[in-house]
């Protein structure tokens, strides 16, 4: 093996300066303040930098500027395809702004979340905190200490909220129009703000639609939670079920298939999120589409603006609409 014990970081600005015959400060300016030094000097320095393969040290920069040009995206579960989209949204904006992002998974745990946020404070300029599970007090405290943009959690500070409440109500209307009079809501994590929004919106809307709503759960918001939710739906004599999220809905479909209960002839199923896979199942899953990539992008924008503007810059709130995507998993009530 090419035995280079000197796992050396590359050339530094000093090397560039030396080689171009200028002072370090001049080299710095030549590379970062176009026009601040003579055109000729600038060209020479640039050439040398290129030649040496000089790459500025991000840490050194961060040290003087106080900004790391790094933001973190903290999500409760990196295995959920829902967050893939958010990652992409955040990333696209960040990249254009010359930022990089780190990804942290809190595994749906409040403790991990707290730990992660504490660690992050020392190493990033700001955080996009998706669907935090911690108390409002904690989240607020973090937001006071450093720039935080939350997604799907209605706490003070800049935030992006996705109106899934409106979406599930549309779903309920859709079901009502198909004749369903008894509908189950298979709930998600109790600490989830989204779950509460959806649940309460459904309860509020049910009366006006002459629908009886049965709330079941909470279920683990993954496929494994589905069987219990499916069985509860039938147990309570519901002809349709709205699941907290698509993952859960997939599990519900699995279970119905296993039981020989046909969808949508015997029971209708609605999911939420419109993640990868909703149009892969047969029948396709009717679901409330959340614009998750846009949400990520919006959150990144908010964060970037906050970083640019300092503490002032206000606490903007972006609300994103959802829409119902009707596929094959919903149909008329069986008679």
Partner DNA sequence: GCAACGATGGCAAACGCTTGCCAGCGGTCG
Partner DNA sequence: CGACCGCTGGCAAGCGTTTGCCATCGTTGC
Residues at the contact surface with a copy of itself, assessed by CB under 8 A: 1-7, 9-10, 53, 55-60, 62-63, 66, 68, 70, 78-79, 81, 84, 87-88, 91, 100-105, 118-119, 121-123, 144-147, 250, 276-277, 280-282, 307, 310-312, 314-315
Closest CA to 245 of 108, 140, 106, 103: 108
> Of 61-100, which residues contact DNA (CB under 7 A)?
61, 63-66
Strand partners, 287: 271, 325
Q: Residue 73 is encoded by which pair of tokens? A: 């995206």
260 phi and psi angles, rounded to 5 deg: 80, 15
Q: Is 204 in the site for DNA (CB under 7 A)?
A: no
Contact 61/28 with Cβ under 8 angstroms? Answer: no
Q: Is 135 or 144 the residue whose CB approaches a copy of itself more closely?
A: 144
- How many residues line the site for DNA (CB under 7 A)? 35
Q: Of these partners, DNA, a copy of itself, none, which one is at the site of residue 43 (CB under 5 to 8 Å by kind)?
A: none
Indicate which of a copy of itself, DNA, none lies near residue 13 (CB less than 5 to 8 Å, by partner kind). Answer: DNA
Binding mask 13-32 for DNA (x = CB under 7 A): xx------xxxxxx-xx-xx
Residue 195 and residue 218 in contact, taking contact as beta carbons nearer than 8 Å: yes
d(CA 151, CA 90): 11
Least distance from a copy of itself to the Cβ atom of residue 87, Å: 6
Residue 157 or 187: which CB sits closer to a copy of itself? Answer: 157
43 or 79, CB closer to DNA? 43
Q: Which is nearer to a copy of itself, 2 or 40 (CB)?
A: 2
Give the list of residues 6+ apart from residue 35 with CB closer than 8 angstroms, or none: none
Q: Which window, 60-68, 94-102, 201-209, 248-256, contacts DNA (CB under 7 A)?
A: 60-68
| CA distance to 12, 48, 61, 70, per residue, from 28 (Å) | 11, 12, 11, 21
Q: Which does 332 bind (CB under 5 to 8 A by kind): DNA, a copy of itself, none?
A: none
Nearer to DNA, 57 or 115 (CB): 57
Cα–Cα distance measured from residue 106 to residue 114, given in angstroms and rounded to the nearest whole number: 9
The total number of residues shown for the chain amounts to: 335
Please, which residues bridge with residue 104 across strands? Answer: 74
Window 37 to 56, contacts with DNA (CB under 7 A): 37-42, 54-56
End-to-end CA distance of the chain: 75
Identify the residue among 60, 100, 118, 317 touching DNA (CB under 7 A): 60
Tell me which of DNA, a copy of itself, none is bound by residue 260, counting a contact when its beta carbon lies within the kind-specific cut-off of 5 to 8 angstroms: none
Tokens 């600038």 belong to 42
* Phi and psi, residue 64, nearest 5°: -75, -40
Q: Which is nearer to DNA, 27 or 90 (CB)?
A: 27
């Amino acid at each position: 093996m090419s035995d280079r014990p000197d796992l050396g970081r590359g050339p530094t600005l000093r090397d560039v300066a030396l080689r171009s015959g200028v002072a370090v400060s001049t080299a710095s300016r030549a590379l970062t303040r176009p026009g601040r030094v003579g055109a000729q000097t600038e060209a020479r320095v640039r050439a040398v930098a290129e030649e040496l393969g000089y790459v500025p040290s991000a840490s050194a920069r961060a040290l003087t500027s106080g900004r790391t040009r790094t933001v973190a995206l903290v999500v409760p579960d990196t295995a959920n395809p829902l967050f893939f989209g958010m990652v992409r949204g955040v990333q696209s904006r960040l990249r254009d702004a010359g930022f990089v992002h780190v990804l942290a998974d809190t595994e749906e745990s409040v403790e991990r979340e707290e730990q992660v946020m504490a660690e992050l404070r020392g190493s990033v300029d700001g955080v996009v905190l998706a669907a935090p599970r911690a108390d409002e007090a904690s989240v607020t405290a973090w937001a006071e200490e450093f720039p935080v943009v939350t997604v799907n959690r209605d706490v003070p500070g800049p935030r992006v909220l996705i109106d899934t409440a409106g979406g599930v109500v549309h779903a309920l209307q859709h079901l009502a129009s198909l004749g369903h009079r008894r509908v189950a809501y298979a709930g998600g994590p109790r600490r989830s703000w989204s779950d509460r929004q959806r649940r309460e919106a459904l309860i509020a809307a049910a009366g006006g639609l002459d629908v009886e709503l049965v709330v079941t759960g909470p279920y683990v918001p993954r496929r494994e939670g589905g069987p219990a939710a499916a069985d509860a739906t039938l147990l309570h004599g519901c002809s349709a079920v709205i699941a907290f999220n698509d993952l859960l809905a997939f599990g519900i479909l699995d279970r119905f298939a296993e039981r020989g209960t046909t969808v949508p002839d015997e029971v209708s199923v609605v999911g939420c999120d419109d993640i990868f896979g909703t149009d892969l199942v047969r029948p396709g899953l009717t679901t409330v589409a959340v614009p998750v990539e846009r949400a990520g992008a919006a959150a990144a924008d908010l964060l970037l603006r906050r970083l640019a503007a300092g503490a002032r810059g206000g606490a903007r709130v972006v609300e994103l609409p959802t829409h119902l995507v009707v596929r094959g998993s919903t149909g008329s009530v069986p008679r």
